[in-house]
Amino acid sequence: MKCPFCSENDNKVVDKRDTENGLATRRRRECLSCNKRFTTYERIESINLIVIKKNQAREPFDKAKVEKGVMRALEKRPVSMERMKDIVDEIESELLNKNSTEIPSKVIGNSIMRKLKKADKVAYIRFASVYRDFEDVEEFQKEVTKLTKKGG
């Protein structure tokens, strides 16, 4: 590992710990030449997931799209940014644990809805209205009624 300050290769690890989500290892290093410290992260190389769209087109999985949808649904809701990121990480982890690298978009949408339903009912309704393409107020009412009858 090259030092970002002096480009020498000799360094030692002075601290090592896993990130909170357990998906990476953080290493604090000290250069043996210039004595400056820097941080590196070790992550497992990701598996390339392919999303199968409704029209059967295939595209690479984009975690940023999931994050954008979750963030939009949870906008101005009492859910922390950390929890939002955890939800996205949990969804990605679920997808990576599937037996296939080709995932129908419906599976991703349903996973997002399950997570949002547990985190915040209003966010769940917001996401469902876009994901299920609600046409009118009656569809909103039906979903809210189902949500309140089942107790969530």
- In contact, 95 and 61? CB cutoff 8 Å: yes
* Residue 151, pLDDT score: 58
Q: Is the pTM of this model over 0.95?
A: no
Per residue in 39-93, pLDDT tens? 999 987 767 899 999 999 999 999 999 999 999 999 999 999 989 999 999 999 8
Q: Tokens standing for 41? A: 């992260």
Confidence bin at 11 (pLDDT 50/70/90): very high
Q: Which amino acid is at 58?
A: R
